[in-house]
Amino acid sequence: MGISRRTAASAALATTGLVSAGLGFLFGETVLARRLIGVTDERPPSPDGVYGEDLDGDPVTLLVLGDSAAVGYGMKTQATTPPALLGVGLARMLDCPVRVRSVAVVGAESSDLAEQLARGIDAEPDVAVIVIGANDVTHRKSMRAAVADLQVVVSRLVADDCDVVVGTCPDLGTVRPIWEPLRSIARLQSRRLAERQTVGAIEAGARTVSLGSLLGPVFSEHHELMFGEDRFHPSASGYAALAGALLPPLADAIREQRSEPRKERPGRAEEVMSVSEAAAEAAQHPGTEVRRVGRWVRVLRRR
């Protein structure tokens, strides 16, 4: 049975109206969630400095880029910020002084990474960590553009003989002030971005850690412990979990620079696969680390 042009046009208009109404509803939820979360002008003390000054090993310089998760938004002391936690942790793991330079900015999107790099490249980093993506999702930025912006910065760092570890987009579905159905959409979008970030970052020469799949279940099950007062940004425990996920690949990168053997990590399984397969694996399994090995990539995940 055929459908008249008038009927088809009416159906199209009705569908468009439903979509517009749905988007309007989601936008309203987004605005409400931001009001519930709130913002503050307070910033944690600068984490820049040298950690482990009394150690004898060759010093390492770490550059930190990204958004509020990399800054440590909500923390009152230097010691509880992710850059400081990474500095202390690396110094202990490598038995050497670690100089930390952070250029991360609260509210940053992937398009801001180039400007951050311009401010921090003079530190001549040996290794860099990038945590980005949440604001690209919440502000509905183009995923393709976000990944391209990330790739540009990773490529520039790698060209300067700096190893890069990227913490991919966190799971925004764990944020309780975001109500359904927006929370489910946020979870889906953040996972999609994380998967694309994995592919793009690996192709540009970085290692990646799937922060969303690693921290998502923990943040959901222990919400009161892992989130701060605004129920959106991590608490001190949450930031410690984030730093703990990033430390092993950062230490591995430095050891490989120095031709030191990589230490075996108990409870880890390792495989070699294609980039696309690795990205899908990282999106589905907690704490998956991915790095390139020739034409293939090595996937290291928790058992």
| pLDDT tens-digit map of 39-50 | 455 678 899 999
Residues 190, 146: contact at Cβ < 8 Å? no
Q: Which residues does 183 contact at the CB level (< 8 Å), separation at least 6?
A: 172, 173, 175
CB burial of 70-109 (b: ≥16 within 10 Å; e: otherwise) equals bbbbbbeebbbbbbbbbbbbbbebbebbbbbbbbbbbebb
Q: What is the DSSP string of 133-154?
A: -HHHHHTT--HHHHHHHHHHHH
Alpha carbon distances (Å) from 106 to 69, 152, 175, 281 = 8, 21, 17, 30
Full-model pTM: 0.75
Top pLDDT among 275 and 153 is at 153
Mean pLDDT of the chain: 76
Q: How far apart are CA 235 and CA 3, in angstroms?
A: 57
- Angle among Cα 133, 120, 279 to the nearest 5 degrees reads 30
Q: Would you state the pLDDT for residue 239?
A: 87
pLDDT of residue 206: 95
- Is residue 238 scored above 60 in pLDDT? yes
- Is 285 annotated as catalytic? no
State yes or no: cis peptide before 234, omega within 30 of 0: no
Confidence band (pLDDT; 50, 70, 90) for 98? very high
The CA distance from 132 to 197, in Å, is 9
pLDDT band (50, 70, 90) for residue 231: very low
Mean per-residue pLDDT, 60-72? 94
> Of the residues 48, 220, 230, 285, which is catalytic?
230
**Quick one: pLDDT at residue 291?**
61
- 68 labelled catalytic: yes
pLDDT in tens, 243-267: 998 999 999 999 999 987 655 544 4
Q: Would you call 58 helix, strand, or coil by DSSP?
A: coil
Which pLDDT value is given to residue 280?
59
From the candidates 111, 126, 149, 233, which is the catalytic residue? 233
CA distance 49 to 56: 17
pLDDT of residue 142: 95
Sign of CA dihedral 218, 222, 223, 229: negative
Known catalytic membership, residue 210 = no
Task: Determine the Cα–Cα distance for residues 11 and 7; give it in Å rounded to an integer.
Answer: 6
According to the model, what pLDDT value does residue 109 have? 95
Q: What class, spelled out in words, does domain 38-302 have in CATH?
A: alpha beta
pLDDT at 240 exceeding the cut of 80: yes
Strand runs labelled E in 196-294: 207-209, 268-273, 289-293
**Structural domain spans, the chain:** 38-302
- What are the tens digits of pLDDT across the range 169-227? 987 766 555 556 666 777 788 889 999 999 999 999 999 998 875 444 444 444 443 34
The whole-number pLDDT of residue 51 equals 97
Residue 298 β-bridge partners: 272, 291
99 touches 259 (CB < 8 A): no
In this prediction, residues 32-37 reach a mean pLDDT of: 46
How much is the average pLDDT of 114-124? Answer: 97
Order the strands of the 289-293 sheet from edge to edge.
49-51, 98-102, 60-66, 127-131, 163-167, 207-209, 289-293, 296-302, 268-273
Tokens of 37: 């979360």
Q: State the Cα–Cα distance between residues 236 and 73, nearest whole angstrom.
A: 10
Selected catalytic residue, list 67, 68, 111, 171: 68
60-66 and 98-102: which strand pairing? Answer: parallel
